Amino acid sequence: MRLELPPLRDRPEDLEQLTQHFLSTTALRREFKRLALAELAMKRLKNYTFPGNVRELQNTLERAAILSGGRTILPEHLVFSQKDEI
């Protein structure tokens, strides 16, 4: 049986739920009590195509969480592997 899952760029409706999941797991693992994502940061995530797919999203959010000091992730904390559209 072959299961095909479209890339993240083709299912933007999954981005917010995946983002919340990765933020929660990162906060638990790194013991961040107040990890949040600014609205403009979410907008920036939505405008990026994620050529690295879900794994790139996870890595981007973990890096941003560290850069934010475990507080609110701002757009400038998001570092993508390729040039983003914003």
CATH of the domain at 24: 1.10.8.60
Q: Is residue 37 part of a domain?
A: yes
Q: How many CB atoms lie within 10 A of CB 4?
A: 4
2 part of a folded domain = no
Q: Would residue 4 count as lying in a domain? A: no
Rounded (10°) angle between helices 53-67 and 15-30 = 50
Give the pair of three-digit tokens for residue 65. 């969480």
72: in domain: yes
Q: Is residue 5 part of a domain?
A: no
CB atoms within 10 A of CB 6: 9
Return the amino acid letter for 8.
L
Residue 27 lies in a domain: yes
Task: Indicate the pTM of the whole model.
Answer: 0.88
Domain assignment of residue 71, given as a range: 11-77
Give the model confidence (pLDDT) of 12-59 as tens digits.
Answer: 999 999 999 999 999 999 999 999 999 999 999 999 999 989 999 999
**Count of domains forming the chain:** 1
Residue 78 has pLDDT above 70, yes or no: yes
